[in-house]
């Protein structure tokens, strides 16, 4: 057991020290009781001469006391170390290096982390959550339910459930289960599985089946999250069966989340039907209680805006006292945001909500030296410092995944977000001191 590991048991907030102290008190009282019994035996019984040598009576009493204390301490530390390793290996295989203290310390630290709400969908939201769960377990992901394509769309039509695709991605991102279980949850059947099941994700089928077993999708999400040991909670923006529509630059109106990017004309306005869809109460409560609200990353018109267009979500976002950050995409999305800058992305959100909504716009500063491959039909999102951000502060940081240039790096993004949060605390404290 390393010195660092031993010291960690004494860190504040682990709820360990009080029980260690009580354990030591119990052992000390037991030792005192044994000492009283031994003394009584010594004064009432005459031992053979060899017992004096066996009990080290030729050594001064103070030296014998110190010898016993040192020996007992060594035995206690060795036993604690072996117990720690045995428990970690048998009960907590996920404990780093077999050390329970590391896992306990991480969990206790995350439990005291800020209350963060992330709004979005798709792979952008799951990338963000995967990084943030290392800092806090007080996470709420508000996901869109407008998906009508692929496996989610088929289950939505066939089983009349809200589309589980984005929910599945968030559960996989926040899960603490074995990596193989998470990989299984994300597994997608190919054409070899037959026409009925081909294209479906195992996780989508699992959630849909759980909804049938439990009676509703909310219970299905909760039970699936429990099975996969999810940190935080995943909440749909609404339980209603909404349809996403858009008005295009050429004046056409199209409906369907999967239709918008393929319509051949850029969307200029998004809407949902029914327009007065009721927001999920837990999503509203999470926004009002949040310390930090993150909008994005994700497809602007088909992942982010469908959440904000639910009236209750939009109102709660505006009323929330949390620090609010918009995370711009690192690359444009063909058919949706071609040619958009970071200011254009945020401008679309402002135009739909009617007012400025965030304190910070977080954008990528690591632009590639070479153009993105032509087959991606995408280009880096630029963030000019002199653009109109409607009073929001522009913050640039290296956020891009070096291997997937159109995607955020999970670790870098989470680190930048947490840096913004703690920097905000410092700004608030500085302002308070200046007023005083």
Domain match, 23 and 45 both: yes
CATH number of domain containing 261: 3.40.50.10680
Convert the pLDDT of each residue in 151-160 to its tens digit: 888 888 888 8
For residues 383 and 234, membership in a common domain is answered with: yes
- Residue 32 and residue 82 share a domain: yes
Q: How confident is the model at residue 1 (pLDDT cuts 50, 70, 90)?
A: very low
Residues 180-184: what's their mean pLDDT? 81
Domain end (from 60, 89, 109): 109
Q: In percent, how much of the chain has pLDDT > 70?
A: 86
Asked if 37 and 123 sit in the same domain, the reply is no
Select from 80, 109, 138 the last residue of a domain.
109
Question: ω into residue 350 within 30 of 0, thus cis?
Answer: no
Same domain for 62 and 134, yes or no, is no
Task: Give the chain's domain count.
Answer: 2
Give the mean model confidence (pLDDT) for residues 168-195: 82
Question: Residue 421 contacts by C-beta under 8 Å, 6 or more apart in sequence?
Answer: 114, 291, 292, 323
User: Does 84 lie in the same domain as 175?
Assistant: no
Three-state secondary-structure class, residue 127:
helix
Same domain for 125 and 200?
Answer: yes
On whether the CB atoms of residues 136 and 291 are closer than 8 A, the answer is no
Domain end marker among 86, 109, 132: 109
3-state SS of the chain: helix, strand, coil percent to 5?
Answer: 50, 15, 35
- pLDDT tens string 379-399: 999 999 889 999 899 999 999
Of 349, 420, 340, 348, which is closest to residue 384 (Cα–Cα)?
Answer: 340
- The whole-number pLDDT of residue 350 equals 95
Tokens of 61: 């009493």
Higher pLDDT, 320 or 27: 320
Residue 117: strand pairing partners: 140, 293
> Which are the contacts of 224, defined by CB distance < 8 A and separation ≥ 6?
171, 206, 207, 210, 230
Q: Are 104 and 141 in a shared domain?
A: no
Predicted confidence at residue 75, as pLDDT, reads: 85
The verdict on 83 and 125 lying in the same domain is no
Q: Are residues 63 and 77 in the same domain?
A: yes
Give the domain range for residue 99: 3-109
Q: List pLDDT tens digits, range 269-314.
A: 999 999 999 999 999 999 999 999 999 899 999 999 999 999 999 9
Give yes or no: residues 99 and 167 share one domain. no
**Mean per-residue pLDDT over the chain, rounded:** 85
Give CA torsion, residues 394, 400, 406, 411, to 10 deg. Answer: -110
Q: Are residues 188 and 292 in the same domain?
A: yes
pLDDT of 53 above 90 = no
């Amino acid at each position: 057991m390393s010195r660092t590991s031993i010291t960690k048991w004494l860190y504040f907030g682990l709820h360990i020290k009080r029980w260690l102290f009580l354990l030591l008190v119990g052992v000390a009282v037991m030792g005192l009781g044994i000492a009283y019994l031994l003394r009584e035996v010594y004064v009432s019984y005459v031992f053979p001469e060899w017992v004096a040598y066996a009990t080290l009576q030729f050594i001064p009493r103070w030296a014998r006391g110190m010898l016993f204390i040192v020996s007992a301490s060594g035995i206690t530390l060795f036993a604690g170390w072996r117990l720690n390793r045995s428990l970690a290996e048998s009960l907590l295989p996920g404990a780093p290096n077999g050390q329970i203290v590391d896992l306990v310390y991480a969990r206790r630290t995350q439990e005291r982390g800020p209350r963060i709400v992330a709004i979005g969908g798709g792979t952008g939201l799951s990338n963000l959550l995967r990084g943030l769960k290392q800092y806090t377990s007080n996470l709420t992901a508000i996901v869109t339910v407008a998906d009508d394509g692929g496996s989610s769309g088929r289950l939505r039509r066939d089983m009349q459930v809200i589309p589980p695709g984005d929910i599945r991605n968030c559960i996989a991102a926040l899960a603490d289960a074995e990596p193989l279980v998470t990989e299984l949850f994300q597994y997608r059947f190919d054409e070899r599985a037959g026409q009925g099941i081909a294209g479906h994700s195992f996780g989508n089928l699992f959630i849909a089946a759980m909804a049938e077993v439990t009676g509703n999708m909310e219970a299905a999400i909760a039970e699936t999250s429990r099975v996969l040991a999810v940190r935080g909670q995943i909440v749909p923006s609404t339980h209603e069966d909404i349809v996403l529509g858009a008005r295009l630059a050429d004046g056409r109106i199209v409906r369907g989340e999967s239709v918008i990017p393929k319509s051949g004309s850029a969307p200029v306005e998004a809407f949902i039907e029914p327009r007065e869809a009721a927001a999920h109460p837990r999503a509203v409560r999470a926004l009002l209680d949040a310390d930090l609200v993150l909008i994005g990353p994700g497809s602007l018109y088909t992942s982010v805006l469908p959440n904000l267009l639910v009236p209750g979500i939009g109102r709660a976002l505006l009323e929330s006292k949390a620090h609010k950050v918009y995370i711009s995409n690192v690359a444009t999305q063909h058919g949706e945001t071609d040619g958009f800058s970071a200011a254009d992305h945020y401008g679309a959100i402002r135009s739909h909500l009617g007012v400025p909504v965030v304190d910070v716009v977080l954008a990528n500063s690591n632009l590639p030296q070479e153009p993105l491959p032509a087959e991606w039909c995408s280009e880096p999102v630029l963030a000019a410092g002199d653009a109109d951000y409607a009073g929001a502060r522009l913050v640039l940081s290296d956020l891009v995944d070096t291997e997937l240039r159109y995607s955020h790096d999970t670790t870098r993004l989470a680190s930048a977000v947490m840096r913004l949060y703690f920097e905000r605390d410092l700004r608030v404290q500085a302002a308070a001191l200046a007023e005083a």
